[in-house]
Amino acid sequence: MVAARQQEFEQVALPHARALLRVARRLTGRSSAAEDLVQETLLSAWRGFHQFRPDTNIRAWLFRILFNTFYGQGRKLSGTIVPLSPAMAARTPSADDAIEVRRALDGLEADHQAVLLLGVVEGFTCREMAEILDVPIGTVMSRLSRARQAMRRSLERREDELLRSAGTGATVS
Amino acid sequence: MNCSEVLEQAPLFPDLQSAGEDIRRHLDGCPSCARQVAETRALDERLKAGVLAETFDTSALERRVMHRIAEESAARFTEDAMPARRRFLWPLAAFGTLAAAAAAMVSFVVYQSVKPKPSPYSLAAAHDHRLEVVEGQLRRWRLDIPSAEVMASTHGIPTALISAVESAGFTFKEAKLCKLSGVIFLHLVYLDGNQEFSLYLRHEDTNPAGGAKRLFTTEGGQEHVAGFRDGALEALVVTDQPGRAALRIARAAAQVI
């Protein structure tokens, strides 16, 4: 019986580990912290799996647990800026757009990161994001709008830096 | 609707088809808003591509989680099994703890060793389904089962499978051949109620026939993939519905294939 539940959990919950880790990685800024956060999220999910209703969106449920766990660890989303570690900055080649985009994202306020990751990357609706983040839907909508503006400004700043560095021959890290 | 309302609301929809008629009408007649909405979508695509380009190997993390779950389950089993007079029965309880932990460890190790691995074509199938079925990129589909059966037979796939899947309660919609990571698959689209899902089939000559069907599930982007091998036949089910739906469809398909 327990083995069957474990197998079911593994089949329905673990396929989301990668998406959880992707978001956790940007929230925490560190690989080890992100893995710990996802591990705690999945263990909490397992402990509550007997209450999970089959018609519920398990992906949204897991992300809600992820953010609850993140808050529970004393992390505050509002106003927190996740700094780039020297190691991350050192391995950032300026020519790679994907890395540029992630650097720009890492430089945003964490509540802006959260709505961009959930809404744009993971494809959650505003209503689902409101439930995951436990904030009113209007807050999600306004955050999403501000987050896009911040992301655009951040990318433009990075591109200006690249253009300037290309002119001076300096490297951007 | 005025421009500021449209610019606020249009980016909230995954695509303009799902936005309201009044938003679409405004964008048709307002080049400035249309340009800004297009820029926002381009930014979203760039952000999504940038984040998804970073890959993670979660296999070690998943093993750790399942190991911890096995340990916790063993401990709970022992706790539940302990009577109130446990102090008189502590040798039995201690033995139970050790036995349950050992059983959990053994079952975990055995399960890990026989756990079906996702197909290497899962991600390519998820991406293909997203582009061709969810986003509806223009492709030449065959809309009748006889044409799909011709394509199946030329690639070693039993033609009866296409109708057999319908007998599991799904409705055939369309079919075509496609390449996933350079390998040809027959791409079939069926309806599960009013939800579309993709079934990718291929026949591999080098794979020996026989063996039990063992289901795996995985994800790729927003899609969920479930699949199985049956001898030389490989089948992948892709849906943008929850993973449980992918598993249910794959299980039903496995029963009739």
Residue A134: which CATH number? 1.10.10.10
Tell me, yes or no, whether A41 and A99 share the same domain.
no
Mean pLDDT of chain A: 79
**What is the count of structural domains for chain A?**
2
Tell me, yes or no, whether A123 and A54 share the same domain.
no
Tell me, yes or no, whether A89 and A27 share the same domain.
no
| B54-99 confidence digits (pLDDT tens) | 888 888 899 889 888 888 777 665 555 555 555 556 566 666 667 7
Domain boundary among A49, A75, A101: A75
Tell me, yes or no, whether A103 and A49 share the same domain.
no
For the entire predicted model, the pTM comes to: 0.53
Would the CB atoms of B47 and A145 count as touching at under 8 Å? no
pLDDT at position B36 is 87
Question: So what's the ipTM on this one?
Answer: 0.79
Please state the rounded mean pLDDT for residues B147-166.
87
Does residue A86 register a pLDDT over 80?
no
Tell me, yes or no, whether A88 and A49 share the same domain.
no
Domain boundary among A54, A75, A96: A75
Tell me, yes or no, whether A53 and A105 share the same domain.
no
Tell me, yes or no, whether A92 and A173 share the same domain.
yes
Range of the domain at A114: 79-173
Question: Searching chain B, which residue's CA lies closest to the CA of residue A150?
Answer: B43
> What number of other Cβ atoms are within 10 A of residue B236's Cβ?
30
Distance from CA of B256 to the nearest CA of A (A): 21
Would the CB atoms of A116 and B47 count as touching at under 8 Å? yes
pLDDT band at A42 (very low <50, low <70, confident <90, very high): very high
Decide if B33 contacts B12 (C-beta within 8 A): no
Tell me, yes or no, whether A50 and A133 share the same domain.
no
Tell me, yes or no, whether A36 and A121 share the same domain.
no
Tell me, yes or no, whether A57 and A19 share the same domain.
yes
| B184-225 confidence digits (pLDDT tens) | 899 999 998 888 999 999 988 765 555 556 788 887 777 888
Please state the rounded mean pLDDT for residues A1-14.
83
Residues on chain A touching B73 (C-beta within 8 angstroms): 2, 6
Tell me, yes or no, whether A121 and A88 share the same domain.
yes
Tell me, yes or no, whether A58 and A110 share the same domain.
no
Domain boundary among A75, A94, A124: A75
Decide if B61 contacts A38 (C-beta within 8 A): yes
